[in-house]
Amino acid sequence: MMSLEMESCDRGQAAEVPRVPKSARGKRSVRKKEAQSQVMCAFDLLATVAGKLLDEGEGSAGAPALTACAKDVRVKQEQCNEEREHLKNEVTDQDSCNESAILPHVVFQHSMNHARNEYPKAKSEDQDKESSMISSTKAELSSNFRAIADLWSPESVEAGDAVASPMPTAAGGFHKNAPDMYNLLDPMDVDMKPPPLVSSDSTGEMPRGLKGVAGYSVDRDDDDDDKSSGCTTHPSTTANRDFRPNCTAEHSRVRKLLTCKYRNAAPPRMHKSDLSYSDVERKPSFRNKKMHYTRQRTQRSTFKRRKLFDRHTVLASEFGRANGKGNTKVTKRDSHAAFLKANKGTESMPSQKSGASNDCHVKLKIKSFKVPELLVEIPENATVGSLKKTVLEAVNAILGGGLCVGVLHHGKKVRDDSKTLMQAGIGQDDVLDNLGFSLEPNCTHNPLQVQPPEDTSFMETIDITEPLARIAPADSSCKHGEIDVSHELAVTPLTMNYQGSDHDSVHSPDKVYRNSRALVPVPAADPDAGAIVPVNKSKRSPEQGQRRIRRPFSVAEVEALVLAVEKLGTGRWRDVKLRAFDNAKHRTYVDLKDKWKTLVHTASISPQQRRGEPVPQELLDRVLAAQAYWSQQQAKLQPKTPPLTEARLLT
DNA sequence: CTTAGGG
DNA sequence: CCCTAAG
């Protein structure tokens, strides 16, 4: 996965070609994207847990919570069983999971023996590629960079044909900017990541770097789940490591399978009533996945078939769309009691909270907590009991480390525990709308991450999410995974992108968080959404068409987009996606195209009319320049009309 | 599956 | 963002 993009840089020239017949481009088959990703399913354990907590209320923190969770899990499992059938058809793919959940995705592989066996095979191709890439990556980075710069330099432009080179006019700018792009990447990917952690595993590390190199990656948000491919991660646990690869392979496979399923299984048009929650994100996800897997079509098909034959059970807890994702919902005015109760069960809600505002008590009712998504894959022949056990283990692993509650206000994490609610700006009234809670896996450090502003837009209810750590546990190794995870979490505060790799599962906390962002924006659409927990049942058919949650482009993303378009031109959105947003699973080429469209529009209107985060004028100028340049190029390619125009003018 | 556009 | 027609 990683890096192929780089190559494009090298071969920049080729890239420049405005458009190549599809056939020619087709070669991209080489595209590497492999199979990364893991499949994850979302489990709304949290929600369940929450419910439990509320009900039982007991607990002080840790242990009780665990217990509760375990139970819930079980319950969930059962529910899952019921819905299994349903799910099978409606499997949510990772994206959906990702988006929705946020949390750590856990994948459990029960008897994945075959997975192991398969792994080598499945990954071999990619691996080779990767390894080679990896080895060369860093070294190449600089060279590539240079190459790019050269490419863009005036000279090269001159030398080359206009057509071949990227916007001449912009050349200077590119040149200049190129570095920025990389910087952008690096800082996040490289810098943030704690070298030590990854270092042990070169494999793990590289992915990130490569990614960064390859394309800008701004995806902190990650959806990542996909990132599975990178394997990585915790040096610490050997077991995990071993496990991971397998997981990855499996995940990939599963994903693919899922994807296939979608296609095959999903009726073109389902009745709303028939739809399952998963439907909601399905579409989007599907698309994304496709992208990633495009290169492996062949394999994919195979997988597809496979899936049909051997079906594993996949449980997804969260189906729901974004809404579902939710997290915990707090109802505005509820009883204080409820709040406390919840609090009690879980953690610590800020005692201050209640206490802080002397005069005004902030009343929150937490209806449910969302649990991290878990993906469980086990053979059909596995017993229900084993399934339950697996899930239970996973949950315990997650919770075992203890949970911490994070408080989000207006999308930002409130880190200072000593602040009073008032000081934190959490007022009575606005609280509900702007306050969010998150459950985090053992937070010793407390790393927090700030959620993207976008997330902020929540709904009236407060969502609490919990990014639990992702567990990477595999069957037996679950526990270890958990430990590691927590560790990782603690350690890696700001990471962005990812860590990772795809491979696994381990996301940094941040990442998790970001994912979690998903939690945030749950569309209010369904009333049920709040209920989240219910994985099932009922009502929820509406999901199907759910619209993807809005994820405004950040300036960094815009820059990456501009950069890519400057180089590739308009009309090659897939390439743009691959080049600059390969890691951003939630950005499809269509999204990029649309964004470009809006950017062009934005650049044309007065600053006062613009909304959202202001995009630097410089970027907008580049947008216009690039747009003009590429439009012209396009026109040249089809000189039919141009001549006429010209002639006319002349005449 | 990708593009390109309209909604 | 979504939906679709085209290719």
Q: Answer whether residue A600 shows pLDDT above 90.
A: yes
Distance, angstroms, CA A578 to C1' B2? 13
The percentage of chain A sitting over the pLDDT mark of 70, rounded to a whole number, equals: 14
CA dist A528 and A530 (Å) reads: 5
* Top-ranked range on mean pLDDT: pick from A70-79, A185-194, A603-612, A629-638: A603-612
Could you tell me how far CA A608 lies from the centroid of its own chain? 33
If pLDDT is split at 50, 70 and 90, which confidence band does A632 have? confident
State phi, psi for A106 to the nearest 5 degrees. Answer: -120, 140
pLDDT of residue A381 exceeding 90: no
Strand C bases within 7 angstroms of protein beta carbons = 1-4
Give phi and psi for A42, each to the nearest 5: -105, 140
Q: pLDDT per residue over A196-225, tens digit each?
A: 222 223 332 222 323 333 334 333 333 333
- Residues pairing with A374 in the sheet: A106
**What mean pLDDT comes out for the span A290-300?**
37
Report the distance separating Cα A279 and Cα A282, nearest Å: 5
What pLDDT sits at residue A90? 33
Q: Which nucleotide is nearest to A594 (CA to C1')?
A: C1
Nearest nucleic acid nucleotide to A300, CA to C1' distance: B1
Mean pLDDT of A461-488: 30
Dist. CA A108–CA A247, nearest whole Å? 8
Tell me: the pLDDT tens digits for A312-361?
A: 333 333 333 333 333 333 333 333 333 323 333 333 333 333 333 344 56
Question: Of A104, A219, A221, A50, whose CA–CA distance to A467 is shortest?
Answer: A104
Q: Which residue has the higher pLDDT, A190 or A15?
A: A15
Mean residue pLDDT of chain A comes to: 45
Residue A282 Cβ < 7 Å to strand C: no
Q: Which nucleotide is nearest to A597 (CA to C1')?
A: B5
pLDDT at A172: 36
* Nucleic strand C near CB of residue A571 (< 7 Å): no
* A19/C5 CA-to-C1' distance in Å: 21
Top mean-pLDDT range of A416-430, A445-459, A499-513: A416-430
Max avg pLDDT among A168-182, A265-279, A420-434, A624-638: A624-638
Tokens of A413: 């994490």
> How distant is C1' of C1 from CA of A384, in Å?
40
Residue A539 pLDDT: 37
Round to whole Å and give the CA distance between A204 and A227: 11
Nucleotide showing the shortest C1' distance to residue A591 CA: C1
- Work out if A601's Cβ lies within 7 angstroms of strand C: no
Query: pLDDT digits over A506-517, tens only?
Result: 222 233 333 333
Range A49-76 average pLDDT: 34
Q: Is A625 exposed, middle or buried (0-12, 13-18, 19+ CB in 10 A)?
A: middle
The pLDDT value given to residue A190: 29
Which nucleotide is at minimal CA–C1' distance from A31?
B1
| CA nearest to A306, candidates A278, A268, A264, A277 | A264
Tokens of A11: 């071969």
Q: Please tell me whether any atom of strand B lies within 7 Å of the Cβ of A574.
A: yes
* The pLDDT value given to residue A633: 83
pLDDT at A636: 76
pLDDT at A160: 32
- As a rounded value in angstroms, the CA-to-C1' distance for A416 and C6 is 56
Distance in angstroms (rounded) separating the CA atoms of residues A45 and A69: 7
Q: What per-residue confidence (pLDDT) applies to A635?
A: 80
| Gap between the Cα atoms of A136 and A305, Å rounded | 36
Torsion of CA A202, A203, A204, A210, to 10 degrees: 100
Look up tokens 């009991």; give the residue: A385
Residue A573: pLDDT over 90: yes
pLDDT of residue A545: 75
